Amino acid sequence: MNLLSVVIPLKDERENVRPLYEKLRDALRGVARWEVVFVDDGSGDGTFDVLTELAAVDRRVKVVRLRRNFGQAAATQAGFDVAAGDVIATMDGDVQNDPADLPMMLAKLDEGYDAVLGLREKRQDKFLLRKVPSLCANWLIRKVLGVPFKDFGCALRVVRREFIDGLSLYGEMHRFITALLIQQGAKVAQVPVRHHPRTAGQSKYNLTRTIRVVLDLMTVKFLASYQTRPMHLFGGVGLIFLALGLVSLLASIVMKYTTGPGMTANPLFLIGVMVELIGVQFLSLGLIGEVMARIYFESQGKPPYVVRDRRNIDESAGMRRAA
């Protein structure tokens, strides 16, 4: 490892910035080269002033100040974009994550892993407001995405640069970094880490974020399973609706010539027509999705795969598709 970059998004954490920097500095004394990238996500409490003071006395401190509050995912992505390290670490700015765990996680990374995630075994948060929603969200993510880890909300992680470059974070996607890494083929481990109670500042978490997490989870699942074949999803749903509509229409025809009312007076006829139209709409969505997927991959010269390593193959050979 040549350089370690620690990315820390912040929002109104003035009282926590300096203690966090000092703990990080002490924890990384054994690391030859490191930097910390603080991203001020639209703070209004003077957080940027403290960051400016730290940057003036330590060249290893990099500061990015966003124009307004864009959210943790966007702030984390901004940190990734300016970090220069071969290994990227992330952590929260509330000092609940312990920087002293980083050397242990870096040692685990050297065992051949591409990413090492933190697992908060003794989480120091409010039970109903934080722990219960987190347990439900973690269970849902495991079931939907098939990712076998227990804690997806822990911000403390270390990841090799090549996998960070493959991420594009927005919305609440920072919660799905683990799933996104696994989609790239990363070899991932999770290790127990310490977690401390918040002693300064206010938590930015509220229950409305749970709804956004569920919606973003649907996006991640779609991208993981159907990004290159949207017709399989929308077309499948469309065929189901078309079949149901056909059954309803046939039933209305049978009823017309037996004991039932006329077709126009039969609710099954109207239901059948409506369901058939829904089926056609889903098929149309599938076709549009196929066209958009083709444009996405071909316009960027981006292949629908990621290469881990090469042997006896010229690097330029992988660029022929783009050329």
For residues 80 and 89, what is the distance between their CA atoms, to the nearest angstrom? Answer: 10
- 98 and 214 belong to one structural domain: yes
Q: Is residue 274 part of a domain?
A: yes
Token duo for residue 51:
């960051």
- 192 and 275 belong to one structural domain: no
Average pLDDT across the chain, whole number = 81
- 109 and 219 belong to one structural domain: yes
Q: Is residue 16 part of a domain?
A: yes
Residue 194 has pLDDT above 90, yes or no: no
Q: Is residue 323 part of a domain?
A: no
Predicted local confidence at residue 105, as pLDDT:
94
Beta-carbon contacts of 74 under 8 Å, excluding residues fewer than 6 positions away, are 41, 66, 169, 170
Q: Which helix (H) or strand (E) holds 88?
A: strand 87-90
- 22 and 85 belong to one structural domain: yes
Exposure of 315 by Cβ count < 10 A (0-12 exposed, 13-18 middle, 19+ buried)? Answer: exposed
| Domain stops at, among 188, 211, 226 | 226
Domains: count for the chain: 2
- 216 and 252 belong to one structural domain: no
Question: Are the C-beta atoms of residues 118 and 89 closer than 8 Å to each other?
Answer: no
Name the band, by pLDDT with cuts 50, 70 and 90, for residue 232: confident
Q: Is residue 317 part of a domain?
A: no
For residues 65 and 126, what is the distance between their CA atoms, to the nearest angstrom? Answer: 30
- 143 and 253 belong to one structural domain: no
Q: Which helix (H) or strand (E) holds 223?
A: helix 208-226
Q: Is residue 318 part of a domain?
A: no
Q: What is the CATH number of the domain that holds 54?
A: 3.90.550.10
Q: Is residue 210 part of a domain?
A: yes
Range of the domain at 245: 230-302
Angle at Cα 191 formed by Cα 133 and Cα 138, nearest 5°?
20
66-70, 87-91, 136-140: which has the highest mean pLDDT? 87-91
Name the band, by pLDDT with cuts 50, 70 and 90, for residue 312: very low
Burial 119-149 (b: 16+ CB within 10 A, else e): bbeebebeeeebeebbeebbeebeeebebeb
Q: Is residue 107 part of a domain?
A: yes
Please report, for residues 35, 114, 144, 147, 250, the alpha-carbon distance to residue 189 in angstroms, rounded to integers and kept in the order given: 24, 8, 20, 12, 55
- 181 and 40 belong to one structural domain: yes
20-24, 119-123, 210-214: which has the highest mean pLDDT? 20-24
pTM (predicted TM-score): 0.70
- 108 and 251 belong to one structural domain: no
For residues 288 and 266, what is the distance between their CA atoms, to the nearest angstrom? Answer: 34
Token duo for residue 170:
């927005």
Question: Are the C-beta atoms of residues 47 and 41 closer than 8 Å to each other?
Answer: no
Average pLDDT score over residue span 168-192 = 84
Beta-carbon contacts of 148 under 8 Å, excluding residues fewer than 6 positions away, are 142
Residue 304 has pLDDT above 70, yes or no: no
- 195 and 54 belong to one structural domain: yes
- 42 and 125 belong to one structural domain: yes
Q: What is 256-290 written as a DSSP string?
A: HTTTS--GGG-HHHHHHHHHHHHHHHHHHHHHHHH
In the three-class reduction of DSSP (H, G, I as helix; E, B as strand; rest coil), residue 63 is classed as strand
- 72 and 221 belong to one structural domain: yes
Q: Is residue 309 part of a domain?
A: no
Per cent of the chain over pLDDT 70 is 82
Exposure of 302 by Cβ count < 10 A (0-12 exposed, 13-18 middle, 19+ buried)? Answer: exposed
- 38 and 158 belong to one structural domain: yes
Burial 157-178 (b: 16+ CB within 10 A, else e): bbbbbebbeebebebbbbbbbb
